[in-house]
Amino acid sequence: MPLFMALHKWSKEEEVAVLKELSGVLTAVREKKLPQGIELCAVYETGDQRIYYVWNTPSMEVLEKMLGEYLPVVRKGSELVSVVQMYPPTVEYTVALFQGLIPLVSK
């Protein structure tokens, strides 16, 4: 399943609304109420109105829809990026690495 990193930024004026949204989405994660196929992998907070989420979702569109539902204020200041986990290695990463090596060692 595709992996996405979401960087969310907000202003001090939006802080209360954002905290409510973040609390709501984390509650939905804990209670397993997110839409099917969406998995929260990690959250990193910087302390200066920025937070990073790492999500497994079927597609960018599915993630954007969920963010619009659960985090409308946060979504306004968000950047979503498709990423590949390199360490610790996933099966997908290892297979891609081996497939890239096959032509090199076949010469």
pLDDT digits (tens, 9 = 90+) for 40-66: 999 999 989 999 999 999 999 999 999
CA-CA-CA-CA torsion sign (13, 8, 65, 16): negative
The reply to whether the predicted model has a pTM over 0.75 is yes
Coil, strand or helix at 50? strand
Within 10 Å of residue 62's Cβ, how many Cβ atoms? Answer: 17
The pLDDT tens digits of the residues spanning 69-105 come to 999 999 998 999 999 887 887 787 788 888 989 998 8
51 and 8 Cβ atoms separated by less than 8 Å: yes
Rounded CA-CA distance 10/4 in Å is 19
Does the N-terminal peptide bond of residue 35 adopt cis geometry, omega within 30 degrees of 0?
no
Domain that holds residue 77: 3-105
For the chain, the domain total comes to: 1
CATH number for the domain spanning 12: value is 3.30.70.100
